[in-house]
């Protein structure tokens, strides 16, 4: 009986070796390019401010869903991530007398509190023309870094959305008044019936998130190399 037990233990150990090896290789190959990077994700709207409402669906709900997936993806690559909201509320957290001005003031204050490297504000678009479609990335028009980041994210995002819309400079307060490099991402048009269906789909949301993160990583790596070169020149 004792001999039989020893044989069983040996067999189990042998069978576990490939699994252990796989786990070790996987953990070693899991790169964390965003380690030591702080990112704030701002799911647009919330609470009494639903944003766009199309076909019975609310923009603020979709914004939050995508933002939570984005948070997980960024953390997977090593980033420390903060959400301006993690539930169905605006920044005033009042259930009466909604004030956009108060909401934006508190939203900017919350973003700056974290002194992050990057800001990603997540939104959905809508138009009177139900045929309008496609993602679009906005940056503060005076921010060169914001424009470069917008270009990186836009290029990767279009691999999924196939949008024809170019990036655009803007004066949105969430980008203008905050102290970090940021972009506002309109993931698509809820007013377009087909695109609204995609935007509500979790698998599609994951595809969007993957592309957004690819763009951010690409920007961060290039910006880091540029900073190192400039530091080297100063030392020389």
Write b or e for each residue in 194-232: b if 16 or more Cβ atoms lie within 10 A of its Cβ, otherwise e.
ebbebbbeeebbbbbbbbbbbbbbbbbeebeeeeeeeee
Question: pTM for this one?
Answer: 0.86
Q: How far apart are CA 40 and CA 117, in angstroms?
A: 8
| C-alpha distance from residue 77 to each of 34, 48, 148 (Å) | 6, 34, 21
Q: How far apart are CA 215 and CA 159, in angstroms?
A: 11
**Which segment, 16-25, 94-103, 190-199, 227-236, is predicted with the most confidence on average?**
190-199
Q: How far apart are CA 235 and CA 93, in angstroms?
A: 50
Give per-residue pLDDT as tens, 13-34.
555 555 444 444 444 457 999 9
pLDDT of residue 28: 45
Give per-residue pLDDT as tens, 103-119.
999 999 999 999 999 99
- Lookup result for tokens 């669906």: 57
Does residue 72 have a pLDDT over 70? yes
31 burial (CB, 10 Å; 0-12 / 13-18 / 19+) is: exposed
Q: Please enumerate in sequence order all residues whose Cβ is within 8 A of that of 171, keeping only pairs 6 or more positions apart, or say none.
A: 140, 141
Helices within the chain (DSSP H only): 2-29, 59-76, 100-113, 144-161, 173-176, 193-199, 202-235
């Amino acid at each position: 009986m004792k001999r039989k037990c020893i044989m069983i233990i040996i067999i189990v150990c042998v069978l576990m070796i490939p699994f252990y090896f796989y786990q070790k290789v996987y953990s070693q190959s899991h790169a964390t390019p965003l380690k030591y990077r702080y990112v704030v994700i701002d799911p647009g709207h919330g609470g009494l401010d639903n944003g766009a409402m199309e076909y019975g669906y609310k923009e603020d709900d979709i914004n939050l869903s995508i933002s939570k997936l984005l948070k997980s993806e960024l953390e997977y690559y090593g980033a420390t991530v903060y959400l301006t909201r993690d539930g169905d509320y605006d920044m005033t957290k009042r259930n009466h007398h909604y004030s956009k001005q108060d909401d934006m003031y508190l939203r900017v204050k919350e973003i700056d509190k974290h002194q992050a490297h990057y800001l990603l504000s997540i939104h959905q678009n809508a138009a009177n023309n139900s045929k309008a479609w496609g993602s679009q990335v906005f940056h503060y028009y005076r921010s060169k870094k914001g424009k470069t980041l917008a270009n990186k994210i836009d290029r990767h995002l279009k691999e999924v959305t196939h949008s024809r819309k170019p990036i655009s400079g803007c004066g949105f307060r969430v980008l203008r008044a905050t102290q970090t490099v940021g972009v506002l991402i309109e993931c698509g048009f809820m007013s377009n019936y087909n695109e609204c269906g995609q935007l509500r789909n979790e698998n599609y949301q994951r595809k969007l998130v993957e592309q957004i993160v690819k763009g951010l990583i690409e920007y961060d790596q290039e910006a880091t190399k540029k900073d190192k070169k400039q530091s080297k020149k100063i030392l020389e």
